[in-house]
Amino acid sequence: MSIGDALAAARREAGLTITQVSQRTCIRETIIRGIERGDYSACGGDFYARGHIRSIARAVGLNPDELIREYDATQAAPKQITAADVFQPFTPVKLKERRRANWSIVLLAGLIVVLGLAGFRYFKSHNNSGSSRPTASTQSDRLQADHHHKKATTPVVHTPPPPTHVQIMLVASTGNITWVALVNSGGTQVFQGDIGAPNGPQQKTWTFGHPVTIQLGNPGGATLYLNGKKQYLIKDQPETLYCTKVNCKQT
């Protein structure tokens, strides 16, 4: 029995329509009909076809692993990524610490400014000591000196630096499963598996010191965050994103 026949028979046995399977998996009905007929042209490639087969099989109560093995033996092209590449340990890039401001130099400069202003005010008042009533220019000079004094003693406020890393977090929606693969900037696949119950964790977080490519087999089943910011995903079809520390873009 072919993959499509097995999925169709299991769907009918479970009492489900193609529309109901589409709602459970967020996969378009046209793609599900094509897979049941053995037509994978609408899937967009072997990677997406495997993701669709996994999602549909779980929705109708079949073991997806056996169907994926049959697909690889009959339909898929030879894989370019080996098992050694998948389980190769990932070494994060060490980031240089941002050097803090030298506060001793800032305080010394402020002290010099204050002493200069104090000396200026002393000599100014000494020259005008013979006058019992201060002139308008003297009052203006004092106001300017006070303004400079306040400005010199105001502490410097440093804004935090922008993020220097790429943090990816996937949170599975209730009752959904999303197949995900992560490939680093060197072309090495650092993760491949499911996010969501019952087989995978409900959420997972990765941190990189460089851009990363993420592939999602069922984007509608999870929420993607980049450095704590929620990203927009297309919910009805698999997609591939290139994520930097600023944003995630479709490739």
Residue 96 lies in a domain: no
Same domain, 115 and 177: no
Same domain, 48 and 122: no
Same domain, 66 and 14: yes
Residue 42 lies in a domain: yes
Same domain, 170 and 147: no
pTM check: above 0.85: no
Same domain, 149 and 168: no
Same domain, 141 and 178: no
Residue 97 lies in a domain: no
Q: What CATH number is attached to the domain comprising 58?
A: 1.10.260.40
Predicted local confidence at residue 77, as pLDDT: 62
Same domain, 46 and 64: yes
Which value, in Å, is the radius of gyration of the alpha carbons in the chain?
32
Domain that holds residue 113: 103-153
Question: Which residues are bridge partners to 208 per DSSP?
Answer: 166
Task: Write the pLDDT tens digit of every residue in 49-71.
Answer: 999 999 999 999 999 999 999 99
- C-alpha span between 182 and 167 (Å, rounded): 12
Measured from the Cβ of residue 78, the count of other Cβ atoms closer than 10 Å reads: 5
Number of separate domains in the chain: 3
- C-alpha span between 78 and 243 (Å, rounded): 27
Same domain, 169 and 246: yes
Same domain, 23 and 46: yes
Residue 98 lies in a domain: no
Is the preceding omega at residue 211 within 30 degrees of 0, hence cis? Answer: no
Domain boundary among the residues 112, 128, 153 is at: 153
Helix axes 103-127 and 136-153, enclosed angle (nearest 10): 170
Same domain, 143 and 217: no
Task: Write the pLDDT tens digit of every residue in 157-209.
Answer: 666 667 778 899 878 877 777 778 888 988 898 888 888 767 678 888 989 88
Predicted local confidence at residue 169, as pLDDT: 86
Domain boundary among the residues 132, 153, 174 is at: 153
